[in-house]
Amino acid sequence: MNVKMLQVGPLGTNCYVLETEKQAAVIDPGGDAPAVERALEGAELRYILLTHGHYDHTGAAAALQKAHPEAALYIHRADFQGVDPNLFPLGTQVSEVKFYGEGDELPLGDTKVEVLYTPGHSEGSVTLRCGDLLFCGDTLFAGSCGRTDFPGGSVPKMLASLRRLGELEGDLQVLPGHMEPSTLAAERRYNPYLRQALGEKP
């Protein structure tokens, strides 16, 4: 599987394009649909996947769906009908939305994308796992974690989600919604929020 990372939109959101067997999925198209289109390079877009509903992660979803009507657009239901008016502001502009949640699996070529429900940054935040890759959205960052002070955010839920990610087996690749990639081993060792979630002393 080939993974491309683009930084899009005014907040430098990490958008990921996954390609396998000429099928593709786009994770968090947060603005700049033309750049995402160039990254697709003609591959069949099967999925538009949102880790959560904030505008900086969803900005190009409507344009991509219009250009690729065969692509299924997925978000967790809690972030489509959430209490925060900034959640999925383009919701009225898309033709169809599908909802995914804990344990769902989406086939993509010879692999699959597994949904892990990881609320805390927003009520409907998810982490998407594809093999040894973790697309964490705004849950786990390199050396940090997502904010919890937005409507729908929760410190206890964030810590529970971080603990869940930290307890996953193996040294998985951490591909966050902002800033640089990392590894789960590095975050277990150096990330103070993850260490707190795992019950370790500073």
Sequence ranges of the domains in the chain:
2-197
DSSP assignment of 37-99: HHHHTT-EEEEEE-SS-BHHHHTTHHHHHHH-TTSEEEE-HHHHS-S-TTBSTTGGG-S--EE
pLDDT score, position 88: 73
Per-residue pLDDT at 137: 98
Strands across the sheet with 44-49, in order?
A: 2-8, 13-20, 23-27, 44-49, 72-75, 98-99
Q: Provide the terminal-to-terminal Cα distance of the chain, rounded to the nearest Å.
A: 37
Q: What is the pTM of this model?
A: 0.95
pLDDT at 86: 66
Q: How far apart are CA 131 and CA 135, in angstroms?
A: 11
Q: Quote the CA–CA distance of 111 and 36 in Å, as a whole number.
A: 21
To 5 degrees, how large is the angle CA 58–CA 177–CA 189? 160
3-class secondary-structure state, position 200 = coil
d(CA 34, CA 29): 11
- CA dist 14 and 133 (Å) reads 14
| Whether domain 2-197 has CATH 3.60.15.10 | yes
Distance CA 150, CA 97 (A): 23
**Residue 135 host element (H or E):** strand 133-137
pLDDT computed for residue 21 by the predictor: 81
Q: What is the pLDDT of residues 71-97, one digit of tens each?
A: 999 999 999 876 566 677 665 578 889
Full pLDDT tens readout for the chain, 202 residues: 899 999 998 889 999 999 998 899 999 999 899 999 999 988 899 999 999 999 899 999 999 999 999 999 999 999 987 656 667 766 557 888 999 999 999 999 889 999 999 999 999 999 999 999 999 999 999 999 999 999 889 999 999 999 999 999 999 999 999 999 999 999 999 999 999 999 976 5
